[in-house]
Amino acid sequence: MEPAFDLHLPRHIRFGRDAAAHAVEAVCARGKRPLLIHGANPRRSQWLIDALIAANCPPTRHACPHEPDVALIEAGVVAGRHDDVDVVIGLGGGSVIDTAKAVAGLIPASGDVVDYLEVVGDNAPLDATPLPFIALPTTAGTGTEATYNSVIDVPSARRKVSLRDPRLLPDVAIVDPALTDNTPAAVTLASGLDAITQVIEPFISCRANRFTDALCRDAIPQGLAALRTLMATEDSTARDTMAWVSLSGGLALANAKLGAVHGLAGPLGGVTDMPHGAIAGALLPEALRANREATRGRIAGRIVEVERWIAEAFGCEAEVAIDRLAAWSRAQGLPGLREAGLDPAELPPIAAAAEQSSSMQGNPVVLPADRLVQMMEQAW
């Protein structure tokens, strides 16, 4: 008998080119005083600012110039409360959407940010209903437009941890692949490898289910092929595919968890400035190797499927597929962990922290700390 499972999904998903044309309608149906959180360059969001002003919903604006940390979230909450905003929009990459998601949850809440964080905080439940939240991703990577957690850097603890609540799922996720067109190659590579990791890890997860299997079996081979295309040339069809893979990854991880890659990525992200997607890309081949060595039966068979899909995408034998993926990623410019400025002495404490990560709960087997250290050494 198959285990029962629950599904956590955004209330409304709109996918496809020109989907962003419906953003103003979605915002104004939920509030009249929006808070727009965007990336470092406000010009990239000017089209939405102008459209909201024309619709008599002028936005308060808050920039997210880097991956979210406690101070950035606190500043967004202050800005939103000051202007009595009633709906939050995240227009940007995964960092922007994670920031907007957290701010939407915390504006009505009574406590401080850390009160609600797992691992380093009290992990208290949000004590008020979050504001309506609309997500418009401009990169194909994290899939955070379909998840109910926001990953936040806590510099005082040197950790990245989650603010997690099912009510943080977006009211509307608008995934318009046109917003990702002409993304720079380095961002395309790192975010694309993160998206692929986030359909591979739920597929081999101990919590995989029929819903996530259907998404991942469709997305893994498509994502590998599309990313290879995009690293060679700009291609709108491949952009469409990667946007779908990223959304699929968000839906899958929200309903089956992740694994060792993301278990390590949180502690690593807390002690380095390396982008999350680059960390995921560097660790993915090593996590596949470690899990292949440690698993049997059903999960081992799934890793064999993944190796076959990689081999098909790279035109090689399955026996060398993981090596080929790692070599290709490095050849495209993906950094190794050494380039993050890590001291090898930091690896054992990072592994110990990773063992406590919620993402690690989805890994198909328990990997001991020394094997986690070895994974990081091999991704060096």
CATH number of 13-178: 3.40.50.1970
Contact yes or no for 8/143 (Cβ under 8 A)? no
* Residue-wise pLDDT tens digits, 237-263: 999 999 999 999 999 999 999 999 999
CA nearest to 150, candidates 159, 158, 141, 161: 161
Q: How far apart are CA 37 and CA 44, in angstroms?
A: 12
pLDDT given for residue 297 in this prediction: 81
Q: Quote the CA–CA distance of 147 and 168 in Å, as a whole number.
A: 8
Question: Which residues have CB under 8 Å from 45's CB, separation 6+?
Answer: 36, 38, 39, 61, 91, 92
Per-residue pLDDT, 4: 85
pLDDT value at position 1?
62
User: Does residue 45 contact residue 136 with C-beta atoms inside 8 Å?
Assistant: no
Please state the domain extents for the chain: 13-178, 184-378
This prediction has a pTM of 0.95
CA distance 98 to 145: 8
Task: Enumerate residues 6+ apart whose C-beta is below 8 A from 167.
Answer: 105, 126, 129, 130, 148
Return the CATH class of domain 184-378.
mainly alpha
Given this model, what pLDDT does residue 127 score? Answer: 95
State both tokens at 276: 């999350």
pLDDT digits (tens, 9 = 90+) for 12-40: 999 999 999 999 999 999 999 999 999 99
Q: What pLDDT is attached to residue 104?
A: 98
The pair of structure tokens assigned to 354 is: 């990773």
Regions of the chain with pLDDT less than 50: none
